[in-house]
Amino acid sequence: MDEKTMVNDILAGVKASLGSYQTAITETENMQLRQTLQQIRNNDESFQYELFKTAQAKGYYKPAQPATVTEIQEVKTTLQ
């Protein structure tokens, strides 16, 4: 397995785990457990962002084109 495949696989795995943490956090009543899950999620978000920057710098990941001002405004209007 090449480096690009491994990096993209890890990014996908972390993305999936972030969603799972968010679900667990919103369904947890115990404040200590909730805070622990939030800290784990925060650490994973930081790790994901650092790995994303590495992947982007190496050309392994190319984000979508930035949204235009009009597109951003359309989303804001729709969500209000």
User: What are the structural domain ranges in the chain?
Assistant: 3-79
The alpha carbon torsion through 14, 16, 44, 76 (nearest 10 deg) reads 120
Phi and psi of 52, rounded to 5°?
-60, -45
Tell me the whole-structure pTM to 2 decimals: 0.73
Residue 62's pLDDT band (cuts 50, 70, 90): confident
Residue with tokens 């359309």: 74
Among residues 37, 36, 58, 44, the alpha carbon closest in space to that of 12 is found at 44
How far apart CA 28 and CA 22 sit, in angstroms, is 10
Residue with tokens 């597109």: 71
Is the pLDDT confidence value at 50 over 80? yes
Residue 64's pLDDT band (cuts 50, 70, 90): confident
